[in-house]
Amino acid sequence: MSRRFDMTYVFDFIPKLLAYLNITLLIVGSSILLGLIIGMLVALPRLYNVPVLKRVSQVYISFFRGTPILIQLFLIYYGLPTILQWINIDISRVAVLYFVILAYALNSGAFVSEMIRASVSAVDRGQIEAAQSIGMSGYQTFTRIILPQALAISIPLFGNLVIGNLKDTSLAFTLGVMEMTGRSQTLGTATQHFVETYIALSLIYFVISMILEQGFLWLERRLHRHEAGAKQTSAVIRRKWLTRPVSALSKGGRSG
Partner 1 sequence: MIQLEQISKSFGKQEVLQSIDLQVKKGEVVVILGPSGSGKTTLLRCINYLEKPDAGQITIGDLKVDTKHPTKKEIHALRQQTAMVFQQYNLFKHKTALENVMEGLTIVRKMPKDKARTISIQVLEKVGLGNKLDHYPVQLSGGQQQRVGIARALALNPEVILFDEPTSALDPELVGEVLSVIRKIAKEGITMIVVTHEMDFARDVANHVVFMDGGLVVEEGTPEEIFQRPKEERTRQFLSRITPQATYSI
DSSP labels for the chain? ------HHHHHHHHHHHHTTHHHHHHHHHHHHHHHHHHHHHHHHHHHTT-HHHHHHHHHHHHHHHHS-HHHHHHIIIIIHHHHHHHTT---TTS-HHHHHHHHHHHHHHHHHHHHHHHHHHHS-HHHHHHHHHTT--HHHIIIIIIHHHHHHHHHHHHHHHHHHHHHHGGGGGGGT--SHHHHHHHHHHHHS-HHHHHHHHHHHHHHHHHHHHHHHHHHHHHHTTTTS-SSS-HHHHHHHHHHTTGGGT--TT---
For the bound state, the minimum distance from the C-beta of residue 172 to partner 1, rounded and expressed in Å, comes to 39
User: Taking CB under 8 A as the rule, does residue 121 contact partner 1?
Assistant: no
Q: What part of residues 201-240 is at the interface with partner 1 (CB under 8 A)? A: 226-232, 237
Q: What part of residues 237-256 is at the interface with partner 1 (CB under 8 A)? A: 237
User: Taking CB under 8 A as the rule, does residue 140 contact partner 1?
Assistant: yes
Q: Give the number of residues in contact with partner 1, rule: CB under 8 A.
A: 26
Write the interaction track for partner 1 spanning residues 76-115; mark x where CB under 8 A is met and - where it is not: ----------------------------------------
Nearer to partner 1, 135 or 252 (CB): 135
Nearer to partner 1, 93 or 226 (CB): 226
Nearer to partner 1, 12 or 227 (CB): 227
Q: Considering only 7-15, 44-52, 148-156, 179-187, which stretch makes contact with partner 1 by CB under 8 A?
A: 148-156
